[in-house]
Structure formats: C-alpha cells, structure tokens
Amino acid sequence: MLLLRSCRPIFLAGSLLPALRGLSTSALRRQTFNLGQDPPRYKVPNEKEQRNPIKYRSRESLFFNKTLPAKFRLGNEPMYENPLAGFVAGAKRFSLAFGFVGLCFSYLMLQTEYVLPELCEAFAAASLLPYPMVQYLYSPYVLRIYRLYDTTKEQTLENLVADETLVFQKLNWSGFKVYNELVKVEDLQVAAKDTPEGRFGFSNMIAREKDDLTRSFYVVDGFGGMRMNRIWKIAEMHSGIESARP
C-alpha cells in the first residue's frame, strides 16, 4: 500500500507531463498569433489587373477619373495607412444620412400643416449643416499612400528619387468609395495651423504646385516607419523647418 501511494504521484506526473507540454505549446502559439499585426502580404498583379491601369483625379477632373499609362504600377504594399479611416468614413456617411433624413422629416412636418413653415425650414437647414462642415474638415484625410513606379526604368536609386511621385488615396464625398491623387514629393510642405491651408488643424500637409495652388492633406504623424519619416523630413525641409528626424 505504501508502495502504491508513493508511485501514484510519479504516475500522475508522467501522465500529465505530455498534456502540460501541449498546453504550454498551444498557449505559446496563441500568444504568437495575437501579438502585433499580420505579416505583410505582397501582391503580384495578374493579367486582369494589368489591363486595368491606375486611375486618378486632378484639379481638371474633379468629377471623373484620368488614366495613367500602363507602364506605371503601385507598390506591393502601402507606405502608410490611416488608423482613423473607419471614423472618417463613418462621419461622412452619418452626416449625409442625417441631412437626408432631416429633409424628409421636415417635408413631412410641412405637409401636416400643424407646424409653422418657418420651423420646418429651420429644421431642414439644421439637418443639412453638418454635411458641408464634415466635408470641409475631413476631406484632406489620406487613407493610404503608395509609391508609383515606372516599369520602363531600372529600379536604381537615381531613377527612384528623380521625379518621385506618390499616390494618395482619399475618401469621396459619400464616404463609400476611394479615389487617387498624384502628389510629387518635391511639392510637399508642412501646413501651418494658423493659415487657411491648415483648416483649424485638420490638415497638416500640403502640396504646393508651381502655379502656387495648394492641395491639403492630413497624414497621421508617427505611422509608416522610416519611409514616412523620410517624406516628412523632405516636407519639413521644403517648409524651412529644422527637422530632427533620422
């Protein structure tokens, strides 16, 4: 009896040892899968995507897209992704839906003839007011930034830096679709907050073109790693700001 009692802990420990090892291994795997973000997935365009070239908008084509030559391609992954993309899209969609519902409700109040027409008009105006404000403040927000490559040139440092162009993806007026804007790195500057270009702090980067016309963007600083640090440093140098970035 004493022998059996003394052997029982050894038997239990021997039987539980593989299970404990499996439990620790599975827990380690779960921690590994939960840490950080998914590894980058490099995308190789297929023939169908190659037949659909890159489309973009400019000042001359605000309501329709232009097409780049087929020799250009986007980078395999974005240099930058906005962490507030869902919030910006939700604000645009909600303000649009709020204005539409407010117009319908004010029309129904007017048809009942129990509410003063002036009150109905005031309610309709108050319902439409958030939409232009949201459009003005959130239109500079950039969702993603891609590098633009010329496939006819060798991918050397001189060719990559010469006439360097980025593709800024932004949300359209409804918040459901995105469109592209071409931005040259040599035109980038930092937007001052006390100027109309800063839009009360909702724009921190501008593209000042040769004709002194500007386009406003909002890029969250600190995202994108070394590649975006380089872009920010160039924009600060163009603005006359002494940059301490690496």
Segments of the chain with pLDDT less than 70: 1-52
Q: Looking at residue 98, what is its pLDDT?
A: 95
Q: Looking at residue 93, what is its pLDDT?
A: 94
Judge whether 139 and 157 are in contact, CB under 8 Å: no
Q: Looking at residue 3, what is its pLDDT?
A: 41
Radius of gyration (C-alpha) of the chain in whole angstroms: 28
Q: Looking at residue 169, what is its pLDDT?
A: 94
DSSP 93-141: HHHHHHHHHHHHHHHHHHHHTSS-HHHHHHHHHHHHSHHHHHHHHHTTB
Q: Looking at residue 46, what is its pLDDT?
A: 57
What residue spans define the domains of the chain?
Answer: 51-79+141-240, 85-140
Residue count (the chain): 246
Q: Looking at residue 43, what is its pLDDT?
A: 57
**pTM of the full predicted structure?**
0.75
